[in-house]
Each structure stands twice: as structure tokens, then as C-alpha cells.
């Protein structure tokens, strides 16, 4: 699927029009336009230039995503920039300026005429008052001119959108008021005071200004909603490292991530993010892969093991060879999958699009019928035109076309934040019909932080003795499992001795000196190579492992102290009984 950025869309009618135009291009198998992300996904063999030309012919702008970026790093920045909320600040400024002028206009039109609020003497003249209202309305309409340019442009192309309703409603009120202004001037020239006062109450300049002002409020709320729904995608993009440290001619050189090529040798120090996918050449470490897998317990990496971009090296120094860079990394593929899902449509969204495609012409027809019926019923033209404008205005908010994609994108974003990725919007809609779910425990139903769950001391050893000696050994370790043991000891209020001659044995465990005795801790395989493990404890360790727990063995000299089990515990919260 090729991704494009589309500009100039303002409602679901625009979205439907772009989809219709692109779908007609030879070679296009399917086209999905997202109003929320201003993006378009196109599948097929169609030429990129033909697709862009079709969008431009429909009255909008289009460009291939990342076309201006020469490197993977620049492409990532371009994608992140495209997701930024540029609309809300602009709409806020428009709204504040419009409201300032509208308040003055409402004071003159409603406050003075209905509540007899005081005005300057030169505005006591009805014609002067009408001209002042006209100028204020013109200023508000100019500030919100995008409604009119977009609305009339789409009408000219034969595909009216929601902005067309705004433009026609506001324009009709303004045009009618201009006619009344000329009649007002004629009545004043004729000295007809009674007709003068009657016409003065038929001005709708405040309506012409109120319509675009109110719709701007709705547009701003829509823009804010769009900005929030893309947060998950932006947070995924922020995971990608911006630089990498390469080994060239025996020297370490920090370069932009876009300069890394497959086959380059890179190094990662403790605490740094792994820049690209690669394979370990030298060193060993514990790597936190929670950003990609949700697995809270770091994975031990040694020579020959695979590394993924955006994961965190927690302990050792690693030298690795890049295998996948740029858009080929695991993280980039996840980002692409989420982005493609945002561009796809759920079945319910397609129904809304079909309705919105005929919605605007239908509303315009209903407004015209409303005008004619009221005139036939014997009502005055001002009364009838006011009702026709009301039909146009009341239909302006694009809730029909926006509510469904907003719901889909919010669900998609919330899922991504909680480690759930939907491949398509269809999958997301079907998820609502699921009765039974099989979940990977880590990060889904668990807290994401390992904790001590079981203490199994050997014969003749107490739980406090096992825990205090294990914590003394783990005290100088940076491994998350060590932190779990220390946290348990602190919760029980145990005092910890200071071990000496501490050594970490990568991939195996730890050892240190305490009161003349040698403390050792690590995996069952490591401890079995040093001493004999009782059969009963071996079976208990196997049972713990089968339950998803990590058994840690501890020994003092040649004597086994016991096992401490650590696991990612279930999140605190409400649980429901099985049905």
C-alpha cells in the first residue's frame, strides 16, 4: 500500500470525493482516505503521478509520503511532522478574532435594537447602523474565508461539501441583508419612517457572521479530537532513535540514523537505545524489549543473538552488525501497520461515507423546498428565507462523516497505548463481537514490573535468611530481577549486609563474598554446574517455570539456600467471573 498526504479536505464529503476520483484511475485496486490523518492509502499498480493528478483535478492537494525526505531519519521526521496538530492553533486564532467582532455586532444588532443598549449618536441613524453591521459581518466572513473558498470551489467542481452549506447559509443571510440595506436607504430617502423601522428589523448581518463563527467552534473541537487520536502513532515514532554510534576504521562515530547501512558495525552502551535491527558480534547484556513486545523482563543477549531497534540495552557493552535499517526495522513495520490501519475503513464507516456523499445535495434540496413551502403557505419572504437558512445551518456539523472515523481512530490509538495493534479497521470492528480472548499475559493482564511471588528455602534455611542473603548478593546488580528481590527485602524490613568482591557472570548469574563465604545466585543450569540440586527443589522450579515464573537459585559455598520465584504479576483491578 502506497501512502499519500492529502491537503485541503474539510469534511467527509471531501473524503468521499477524493476516494471516488482516485478509484477511477486505471491500475488502482482500492483507495482509502483518512480525514483524521489527512492521509490516503492506495493499492494497485497505478502510477504515482496519475494518482496525484487525480486528487488535484478533484480540487485538493496530494504528495507521496516521505517523497521529500532523502533518508530514513528524514522520512520519520516528515511522518511525525505530518501527524502534528497544525489545525487547532490556527482555528483558535480564527475563533478569537471572529468572537471579538461578533460580540460587537451582536451588541449593535441585538443589544441596541432589543435591549436598547446605548450606542454612539452617529449609529442612531438606521442606515449608519446597517452599514456598520455589514462591515463587521464582512470582517468575520473574511477571517473565516476558508469556508467560502472551499465551499464554492467544491460546488464549482460539482461535488458540494459541508463547507458549501456554511457558505450558502452565511452568504444567503448576507445577500438578503444587502438587499434590505438598499431598501432601507430608499425608505430613508422617501422619508417613510414606518417602513424604515420595519426594514431595520429585517437585517440578518449577525446571522451571516454567527454561522461561520459557530462552525469554527465545531471545527476546532474536531481538530483537537484528531490531534489526540494520533498521539499513539506519534509516541511509536518517538521510540525510533535519531542517531547511532558506528565503528569506522577503529573509531566510534556518531551519525544520523539515516546514514546507517545494512552491514555497518554499531556499538551500544548501557542505558542507550539500540538504533537499528542487528545481530550481536561481541559482548553480552540484558535488553529491555518492552517497547516492542510488552515483555517486562529483559532478555539476555550474547554473541549471535538478534537485536531490535528502539529496545534498551540495560547492562553490558554490545557490538553488533546492522541487518535491517530504515523502514525495514521491526519498529518501522509496526508503525507502518498502525498507519495503514488508520487509513483503512471499517464496514460501518463505509456506510457513513455513502450517506455523507449525498447528504449535502439532499440538504440543499430540502432548504429550497422549505423556502417554497413557506412562501406558498403565505408567509413573507424574510420569514421563509430565515427557515431555509436554518435548514442549511443546522446541517453543517460534519458529525456523520467524522464520528465513525474518530471512534475508529480513538480505539486504534487506545489499543496501541495498551500494546494492542489492529491490522485493519475491519479487525477492530470485529473485535467488538468477540466472546473469548486468548491473551499473552505480559503487559496485557500483568503490571509490567517483576515481583517476588514465591520463597522456597532449602531444608534448614528460613525465608528471612534466604531473602536477606539473596538481597545482599543482588544489591549491586542492575538487573530488573535483582530489583524485585531487593524490593521484597525492603518490604519485609530486612537489614542487608554489604557483600564484597561482586562479579556479574553474563548469561549465568552473580557471585560475591560475604563474611568469608561465597554467595552464588542465578539460573538452575548455572547452579547445577556448581553443586548438586535436590530433586524436590528441581521439580518445584519446573512447576514455577510452567506457571510463567522465573526461578532464581541461591547458594552459600557448597550449600543450597533455596529458590526465589519472580514473575510479572497480574494488574490490580476488577475481574469478572467466567461465563
The DSSP result for 296-334, as a single string, is: -SPEEE-TT-EE-TT-EE-SS-EEEEEEE-GGGSHHHHH
Three cell numbers at 67?
517523497
32, with CB counted inside 10 A (0-12, 13-18, 19+), is buried
Which residue ranges of the chain lie beneath pLDDT 70? Answer: 1, 11-13, 36-37, 66-85, 222, 225-236, 294-296, 336-357, 393, 395-409, 412-413, 416-419, 421, 423-425, 439-444, 448, 506-507, 572-579
Q: What angle do CA 234, 237, 238 make, to 5 degrees?
A: 90
CA distance 503 to 517: 14
Q: Are 359 and 383 in contact (CB under 8 A)?
A: no
Catalytic annotation on 256?
no
C-alpha 23/C-alpha 43 separation (Å) is: 10
Q: Which domains are seen in the chain, by residue range?
A: 2-65 (3.30.70.100), 90-103+129-229+344-409 (no CATH), 238-327 (2.70.150.10), 446-570 (3.40.1110.10)
Q: Which residues of 183-220 are buried (b: 16+ CB within 10 A; e: fewer)?
A: ebbebbeeeeeeebeebbebbbbbbbbbbbbbbbebbb
The cell numbers describing 246, all together, are 558506528
| DSSP class per residue in 63-76 | EETTTT--SHHHHH
- Report the alpha-carbon angle 394-400-401, nearest 5: 120
Contact 509, 530 (CB under 8 A): no
Cα distance between residue 88 and residue 92, in whole Å:
6
DSSP letters along 483-534, please? HHHHHHHHHTT------EEEEEETTTEEEEEETTEEEEEE-HHHHHTTSPPP
Q: How far is CA 259 from CA 239, 245, 318, 443, in A?
A: 18, 11, 20, 34
- Per the structure block, which three cell numbers stand in for 132? 456598520
User: Within 13 Å and on the Cβ side, how many CA atoms surround 509?
Assistant: 21
Alpha-carbon dihedral sign for residues 189, 194, 197, 198: negative
Q: Are 561 and 461 in contact (CB under 8 A)?
A: yes
CA separation for the pair 10, 212 (Å, rounded): 14
pLDDT digits (tens, 9 = 90+) for 123-154: 888 889 899 999 999 999 999 998 888 888 87
Count Cβ atoms below 10 Å from residue 431 Cβ, excluding itself.
13
pTM assigned to the model: 0.54
Catalytic pick from 29, 47, 440, 557? 440
What is the enclosing helix (H) or strand (E) of 562? strand 559-570
Write down the pLDDT at residue 102.
Answer: 92
Q: C-alpha cell of 333?
A: 513495520
d(CA 400, CA 349): 10
What are the distances in angstroms from CA 515 to CA 14, 420, 468, 476?
A: 77, 50, 14, 17
Q: For the chain, how long is the longest CA-to-CA vector?
A: 118
- Identify whether the C-beta of residue 523 lies closer than 8 Å to the C-beta of residue 553: yes
- Determine contact, residues 46/198, Cβ cutoff 8 Å: no
By the 8 A CB rule, do 343 and 322 touch? Answer: no
What pLDDT does 68 receive? 45
Q: Can you give the pLDDT at residue 408?
A: 67
Q: What is the pLDDT of residues 367-408, one digit of tens each?
A: 899 999 999 999 988 788 878 877 876 765 455 545 665 666
Distance CA 302, CA 306 (A): 9
The helix or strand, by DSSP H or E, that contains position 253, with its residue range, turns out to be strand 251-256
Close Cβ partners of 66 (under 8 Å, ≥ 6 residues apart): 3, 74, 75, 78, 79
Residue holding cell 475503513?
Answer: 345
The residue ranges of DSSP E strands in 45-98, in sequence order, are 61-64
Amino acid at each position: 500500500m502506497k501512502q499519500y498526504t492529502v491537503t485541503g479536505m474539510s469534511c467527509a464529503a471531501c473524503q468521499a470525493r477524493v476516494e471516488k476520483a482516485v478509484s477511477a484511475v486505471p491500475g488502482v485496486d482500492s483507495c482509502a482516505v483518512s480525514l483524521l490523518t489527512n492521509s490516503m492509502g492506495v493499492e494497485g499498480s497505478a502510477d504515482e503521478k496519475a494518482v496525484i493528478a487525480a486528487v488535484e483535478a478533484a480540487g485538493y492537494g496530494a504528495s507521496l509520503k516521505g517523497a521529500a525526505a532523502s533518508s530514513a531519519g528524514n522520512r520519520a521526521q516528515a511522518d511525525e511532522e505530518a501527524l502534528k496538530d497544525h489545525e487547532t492553533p490556527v482555528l483558535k486564532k480564527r475563533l478569537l478574532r471572529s468572537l471579538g467582532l461578533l460580540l460587537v455586532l451582536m451588541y449593535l444588532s441585538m443589544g441596541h435594537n432589543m435591549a436598547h443598549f446605548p450606542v454612539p449618536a452617529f449609529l442612531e441613524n438606521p442606515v449608519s447602523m446597517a452599514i456598520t453591521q455589514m462591515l463587521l459581518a464582512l470582517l468575520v466572513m473574511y477571517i473565516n474565508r476558508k469556508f467560502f473558498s472551499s465551499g464554492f470551489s467544491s460546488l464549482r467542481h460539482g461535488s458540494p461539501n459541508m463547507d458549501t452549506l456554511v457558505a450558502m447559509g452565511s452568504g444567503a443571510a448576507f445577500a438578503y441583508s444587502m438587499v434590505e440595506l438598499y431598501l432601507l436607504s430608499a425608505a430613508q430617502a422617501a422619508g417613510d419612517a414606518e417602513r424604515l423601522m420595519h426594514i431595520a428589523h429585517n437585517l440578518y448581518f449577525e446571522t451571516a457572521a454567527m454561522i461561520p463563527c459557530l462552525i469554527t467552534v465545531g471545527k476546532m473541537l474536531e481538530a483537537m479530537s484528531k490531534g489526540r487520536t494520533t498521539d499513539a502513532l506519534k509516541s511509536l515514532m518517538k521510540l525510533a532513535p535519531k542517531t547511532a554510534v558506528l565503528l569506522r576504521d577503529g573509531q566510534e562515530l556518531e551519525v544520523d540514523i539515516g546514514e546507517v547501512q545494512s552491514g555497518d558495525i554499531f556499538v551500544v552502551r548501557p542505558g542507550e537505545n539500540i538504533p537499528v535491527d542487528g545481530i550481536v558480534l561481541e559482548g553480552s547484556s540484558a535488553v529491555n524489549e518492552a517497547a516492542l513486545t510488552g515483555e517486562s523482563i529483559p532478555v539476555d543477549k550474547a554473541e549471535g543473538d538478534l537485536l531490535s531497534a528502539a529496545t534498551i540495552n540495560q547492562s553490558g557493552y554490545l557490538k553488533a552488525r546492522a541487518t535491517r535499517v530504515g523502514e525495514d526495522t521491526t519498529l518501522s513495520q509496526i508503525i507502518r501497520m498502525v498507519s495503514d490501519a488508520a487509513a483503512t475503513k471499517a464496514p460501518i464507516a463505509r456506510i457513513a461515507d455513502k450517506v455523507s456523499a449525498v447528504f449535502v445535495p439532499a440538504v440543499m434540496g430540502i432548504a429550497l423546498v422549505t423556502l417554497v413551502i413557506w412562501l406558498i403557505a403565505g408567509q413573507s419572504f424574510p420569514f421563509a428565507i430565515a427557515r431555509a437558512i436554518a435548514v442549511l445551518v443546522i446541517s453543517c456539523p460534519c458529525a456523520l462523516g467524522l464520528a465513525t472515523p474518530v471512534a475508529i481512530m480513538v480505539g486504534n490509538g487506545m489499543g496501541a497505548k495498551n500494546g494492542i495493534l489492529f491490522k485493519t479497521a475491519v479487525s477492530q470492528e470485529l473485535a467488538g463481537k468477540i466472546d473469548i480472548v486468548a491473551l499473552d499475559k505480559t503487559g496485557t493482564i500483568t503490571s509490567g514490573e517483576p515481583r517476588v511471588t514465591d520463597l522456597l528455602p532449602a531444608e534448614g534455611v528460613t525465608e528471612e535468611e534466604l531473602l536477606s542473603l539473596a538481597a545482599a548478593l543482588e544489591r549491586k546488580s542492575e538487573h530488573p530481577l535483582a530489583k524485585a528481590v531487593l524490593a521484597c527485602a525492603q518490604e519485609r524490613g530486612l537489614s542487608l549486609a554489604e557483600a564484597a568482591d561482586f562479579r556479574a557472570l553474563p548469561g549465568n548469574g552473580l557471585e560475591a563474598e560475604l563474611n568469608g563465604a561465597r554467595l552464588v545466585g542465578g539460573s538452575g543450569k548455572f547452579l547445577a554446574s556448581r553443586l548438586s540440586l535436590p530433586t524436590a527443589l528441581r521439580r518445584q522450579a519446573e512447576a514455577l517455570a510452567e506457571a510463567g515464573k522465573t526461578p532464581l537459585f541461591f547458594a552459600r559455598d557448597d550449600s543450597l539456600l533455596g529458590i526465589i520465584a519472580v514473575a510479572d504479576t497480574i494488574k490490580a483491578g476488577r475481574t469478572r467471573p467466567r461465563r
